[in-house]
Amino acid sequence: MENIYGKKLTELEDYFEKIGDKKFKALQLYEWIYKKRIASFDDMSNIKKETLMTLKRDFNFDILQIMSRLDDKDVHKYLFNLKDNNKIEAVLMKHDYGNSLCISTQVGCNMGCSFCESGRLKKVRNLETYEMVLQILEVEADLKIRISHVVLMGIGEPFDNYDNVLDFIKIINNGRGIDIGARHITISTCGVIPKIKKFMDEDMQVNLAISLHAPNQELRSKLMPIAQAYNLKDLITIIKEYINKTNRRVTFEYIMLKGINDSETNAIELAKLLKGINCYVNLIPYNETSHIEYQKSSQEQILKFYDILKKNKINVTIRREFGSKVMAACGQLRSLYKEEQ
């Protein structure tokens, strides 16, 4: 029996034809699930009894269990229990432009970035499509809000769960489904080059963000093991290719680590690396944790770094700090739960 929240509209259309029913029933089903938000086949009044019996046989409405919710200013951090008792986290952030949910795509992460709490737990498994969709539905139901933006920046490397992530995007982007605009969806990757190359052919208008965090190969290799598999020079080449093909601007995420990657020399090097690329840089003040020794760059140093990029005509922003009091900030997911264990 499959979870209904993991099915794309096209898959349900095929399903209805297979059971000898009309294709348009899939649209009716999507209306009930995502517009009316029912959680039982018995509540679907315009679908005949025989069809409902077949649907009950083949699909379930199993949900994720909310184990806890921690609240900070404009932030709500959720701990979910999965069917197999693995745990994941998601973070709701309230911005002036809408409500943004940072979702997880894997249980654990194999990328092993030295500054990130989430990667201290090695990958256990990929999340199923429905487990990603339900992070949105359950947060919306709990807070009685509409989520307008989704970022795949929680636990896990999205491109390491490529097929399920693409199905997830197709479900939440569908106008008959959750109906989140493609340009309000952002995939963040450490730089899995073969998957970036594959993704540029998908003809999706979603945003792509690259976790960069260093201006040269030597430093990036020390911070991010993936750089040993995929060279920075090759990564920049594929990003240029991606921009040329999709005509989409790319974001480079850059965590500011005191005395590691935040010097004026690093800023100049980064400006040279990104010169002429249609991108912007998101400088992220580091969120310190009890397990990792890196420290946050001073505000003064972050502003110096920012100014150098600006003077070199690089579009740059400094990310607003969110949720550090409840360990919900960038790079901190899963740490508080594991600490309490």
CB neighbours of 273 closer than 8 A, spacing ≥ 6?
A: 215, 216, 232, 236
CB neighbours of 95 closer than 8 A, spacing ≥ 6?
A: 74, 149
Q: How far apart are CA 286 and CA 135, in angstroms?
A: 25
Strand partners for 88: 80
Catalytic residue among 13, 89, 131, 157: 89
Cα-to-chain-centroid distance, residue 99: 14
330 is catalytic: yes
Catalytic residue among 102, 109, 279, 330: 330
Residues serving a catalytic function are 89, 330
